[in-house]
């Protein structure tokens, strides 16, 4: 671009003339950029921004669609006319239909019960709520193979589109059914509460004790149930104070006697304890209610008799003295008999631990009383195999000790006959069911170890998880296999076994729950984690040292508080290769 700038007569200075000419050229250049180049750049930027927004929208829709398709929950969208607008593959699988047979059809016609022939959503109107409210319900849906499965439905209406989600809860419902079957046979009233203080299950006895239908408690917050039940007590505030203490101390074990006047005059004992999982995490609480009216009446009668005897004490001093002497004699005889029972039971334990080439064996036995419901044993089957056993009988004292003695003889007889682990458990269970007519039953860990290879065939029957310290990885492994139900409870129990290998340097640690369920003076649980820490710290030293350190650690933690249950431990460490 060339500009012709002619100076006036006043512009005689060449430098002034040159500067003015450059100024004119600069103004023309700026005007060109404002009129041509800048609008062009703005149009290009606008075009790029539009393309970017379009790409983002497409990507967002793609992500939303993939999220809808990839979800593991059944999802259905229906319009105001109750027709299916959108449905994912998981929902189609549950309903047993095809995508082409579902889209556009009324929801009431999609999915048919394979047995009843009725639509799965035929009664959906009963459950639906207006916009802004969610509704939930559950259904049992028979599968084409005859299997029954349970599903949880949730519905919500948003901007004219209703979203229905379907989640399978079969395992949860079956688990709840098993728990209900167990507690349903109890003579005590039982209520199971989850970690959110919601009542998950009660038995019929629980409702009967309060003159109510036990089904109405399911799903109720326990604090609401407590508010309702307090009016059955002669002193409602006494019960509410007890309940408040339990609520404020989740790890607390509580027990108290209460007088009732509804549904009739009675005396109830209420006992509650926390439920923890294998990691000692609180997962709920169980409440037991027992009618102890007869015992309280007996107590009142004894008190009345004592007052009557007090008036006659002078005339009957000699008689009472004689009776007292007789009681002392009976108590001494009982102590002697208990001492003999203790000697007999300890005589059933291995007098010496087996000396196994290439292995170290350690054991410990600490009953809470003179006799115990715990028992362990080692039986040499041949030069290369040894049978090992750890059992724990429910309850304490002489009855548990008698059951232990019967179990000892049965295990000994069947183990020496050359049976497999599952055969031994099956035969012992039959023996115990035939011999025991009480509520006693056993947990057990049973194993047959092949010394030359370290291979062990074992079964864990409702027993605390045995621990394997793996030398190669310096880590712990818990044997969590479930070999079957309690011994001595049901005659037709079936049992299973598994195989593992004890490698050089590895250590097997087996125990009863008396150690991990010990408490200190602050009602804190010792738990499995503390025990695991001791095992992993000392397993490399040896079997006996690991057991000794576990006992000392538990005693330090307990602060002198006596264990509530018997404690038995054995450990086997395979030597490292030379």
Which pLDDT tens digit goes with each residue over 247-288? 888 888 899 999 998 888 999 999 999 988 878 888 889 999
Integer Cα distance of 363 and 436 in angstroms: 28
Using a pLDDT cut of 90, give the percent of the chain over it: 38
Q: Which of 8-17, 385-394, 396-405, 474-483 has the lowest mean pLDDT?
A: 8-17
Spell out the residues 6+ positions from residue 295 whose beta carbon is closer than 8 angstroms to its own: 267
pLDDT of residue 35: 62
- Model pLDDT for residues 453-505, shown as the tens digit of each residue: 999 999 999 999 999 999 999 999 999 999 999 999 898 999 999 999 999 99
Question: In degrees, to the nearest 5, what angle opens at C-alpha 165 toward C-alphas 164 and 169?
Answer: 140
Q: What pLDDT band is residue 388 in, cutting at 50, 70 and 90? A: very high
Of 125 and 477, the one with more pLDDT: 477
Model confidence band, residue 54 (pLDDT cutoffs 50, 70, 90):
low
**How far is residue 106's CA from residue 99's CA, in Å, rounded to a whole number?**
13
Domain spanning 349-574: which CATH class is it, in words? Answer: alpha beta
More confident residue, 522 or 3: 522
169 vs 558: which has the higher pLDDT:
558
Report the alpha-carbon distance of residue 392 to residue 75 in Å, rounded.
49
Residue 417 per-residue DSSP state: T
Element (H, E) at 243: helix 236-248
Kindly give, in sequence order, each residue whose CB lies less than 8 Å from that of residue 286, ignoring residues fewer than 6 positions away: 190, 191, 192, 193, 272, 273, 275
pLDDT value of position 341: 56
- Say if domain 182-295 classifies as CATH 3.40.50.970: no
Q: Do domains 74-168 and 182-295 have the same CATH topology?
A: yes
Alpha-carbon distance of 49 to 557, in angstroms, equals 68
Q: What is the mean pLDDT of residues 346-352?
A: 76
CATH class of 74-168: alpha beta
Cβ neighbours around 179 below 10 Å, total? 14
How far does CA 406 lie from the centroid of its chain? 32
Note whether 412 and 377 are within 8 A (CB): yes
- Find how far residue 418's CA is from the centre of its chain: 37
DSSP-derived secondary structure letter, 231: G
pTM exceeds 0.75 for this model? no
Cβ contacts of 401 within 8 Å, gap of 6 or more: 341, 345, 371, 372, 373
- 215-231 pLDDT, tens digit each: 788 888 989 999 989 99
pLDDT at 27: 67
The more confident residue out of 82 and 476 is: 476
- Give the pLDDT of residue 180: 67
Name the least confident of 150-159, 325-334, 405-414: 325-334
Element (H, E) at 342: helix 317-348
CA-nearest of 451, 450, 433 to 442 is 433
Q: Is the pLDDT of residue 181 over 80?
A: no
> Reading across the β-sheet that carries 498-501, which strands appear in turn?
374-382, 385-393, 442-450, 455-461, 498-501
User: Which CA distances in Å does 388 have to 57, 261, 507?
Assistant: 67, 54, 14
Reply yes or no on whether the pLDDT at 578 is more than 60.
no
With b for 16 or more beta-carbon neighbours within 10 A and e for fewer, the 565-578 pattern comes to bbbbbbbbbbeeee
Q: For the chain, how far is it from start to end, CA to CA, in angstroms?
A: 97
pLDDT tens per residue, range 100-116: 888 988 988 887 765 56
pLDDT given for residue 110 in this prediction: 85
User: Residue 547: what pLDDT?
Assistant: 95
What pLDDT score does 108 carry? 86
428 contacts 487 by C-beta, under 8 angstroms? yes
CA distance 237 to 230: 8
The whole-number pLDDT of residue 451 equals 96
User: Which residue ranges make up each domain of the chain?
Assistant: 1-70, 74-168, 182-295, 316-346, 349-574
Q: Which residues contact 47 (CB under 8 A, 6 or more apart)?
A: none
289 near 209, Cβ under 8 Å? yes
Strand partners, 154: 136, 165
| pLDDT grade for 376, boundaries at 50, 70 and 90 | very high
Residues 342-357 have a mean pLDDT of: 77
Tokens describing residue 129: 């709520």
With a cut of 60, say whether residue 62 has pLDDT above it: no
């Amino acid at each position: 671009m060339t500009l012709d700038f002619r100076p006036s007569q006043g512009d005689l200075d060449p430098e002034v003339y040159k500067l003015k000419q450059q100024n004119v050229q600069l103004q023309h250049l700026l005007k060109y950029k404002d009129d041509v180049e800048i609008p062009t750049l703005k149009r290009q930027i606008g075009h790029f921004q539009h393309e970017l927004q379009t790409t983002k929208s497409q990507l967002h829709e793609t992500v939303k669609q993939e999220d809808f398709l990839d979800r593991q929950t059944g999802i259905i969208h229906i319009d105001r006319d109750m027709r299916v607008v959108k449905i994912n593959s998981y929902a189609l699988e549950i309903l047993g239909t095809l995508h082409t047979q579902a889209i556009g059809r009324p929801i009431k016609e999609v999915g048919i019960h394979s047995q009843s022939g009725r639509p799965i959503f035929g009664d959906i109107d009963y459950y639906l709520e207006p916009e802004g409210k969610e509704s939930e319900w559950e259904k049992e849906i028979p599968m084409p193979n005859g299997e029954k499965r349970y599903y949880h439905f949730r519905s919500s209406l948003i901007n004219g589109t209703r979203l229905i989600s379907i989640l399978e809860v079969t395992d949860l419902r079956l688990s709840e059914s098993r728990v209900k079957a167990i507690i349903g046979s109890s003579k005590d009233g039982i209520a199971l509460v989850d970690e959110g203080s919601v009542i998950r299950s009660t038995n019929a006895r629980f409702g009967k004790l309060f003159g109510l239908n036990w089904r109405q408690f399911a799903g109720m917050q326990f604090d609401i149930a407590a508010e309702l039940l307090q009016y059955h007590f002669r002193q409602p505030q006494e019960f509410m104070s007890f309940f408040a203490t339990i609520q404020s101390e989740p790890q607390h074990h509580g027990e108290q006697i209460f007088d009732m006047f509804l549904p009739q005059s009675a005396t109830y004992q209420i006992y509650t304890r926390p439920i923890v999982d294998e990691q000692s995490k609180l997962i709920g609480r169980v409440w037991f209610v027992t009618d102890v009216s007869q015992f309280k009446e007996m107590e009142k009668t004894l008190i009345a008799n004592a007052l009557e005897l007090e008036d006659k004490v002078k005339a009957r001093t000699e008689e009472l003295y004689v009776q007292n002497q007789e009681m002392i004699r009976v108590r001494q005889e009982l102590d002697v008999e208990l001492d003999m029972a203790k000697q007999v039971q300890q005589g059933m334990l291995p007098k010496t631990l087996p000396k196994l080439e290439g292995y170290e064996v350690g054991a410990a036995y600490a009953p809470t009383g003179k006799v115990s419901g715990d028992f362990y044993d080692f039986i040499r089957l041949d030069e290369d195999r040894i049978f090992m056993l750890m059992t724990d009988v429910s309850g304490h004292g002489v009855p548990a000790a008698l059951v232990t003695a019967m179990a000892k003889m049965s295990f000994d007889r069947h183990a020496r006959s050359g049976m497999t682990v599952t055969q031994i458990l099956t035969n012992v269970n039959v023996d115990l069911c035939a011999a025991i007519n009480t509520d006693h039953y056993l947990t057990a860990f049973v194993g047959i170890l092949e010394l030359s290879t370290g291979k062990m065939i074992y079964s864990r029957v409702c027993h605390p998880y045995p621990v394997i310290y793996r030398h190669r990885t310096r880590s712990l492994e818990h044997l969590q296999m479930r070999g079957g139900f309690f011994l001595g409870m049901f005659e037709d129990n079936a049992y299973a076994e598994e195989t593992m290998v004890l490698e050089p340097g590895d250590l097997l640690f087996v125990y009863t729950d008396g150690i991990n369920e010990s408490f200190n003076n602050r009602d804190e649980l010792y738990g499995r984690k503390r025990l695991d820490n001791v095992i992993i710290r000392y397993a490399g030293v040896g079997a006996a040292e690991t057991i000794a350190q576990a006992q000392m650690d538990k005693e330090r933690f307990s602060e002198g508080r006596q264990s509530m249950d018997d404690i038995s431990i054995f450990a086997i460490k395979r030597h490292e290769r030379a």
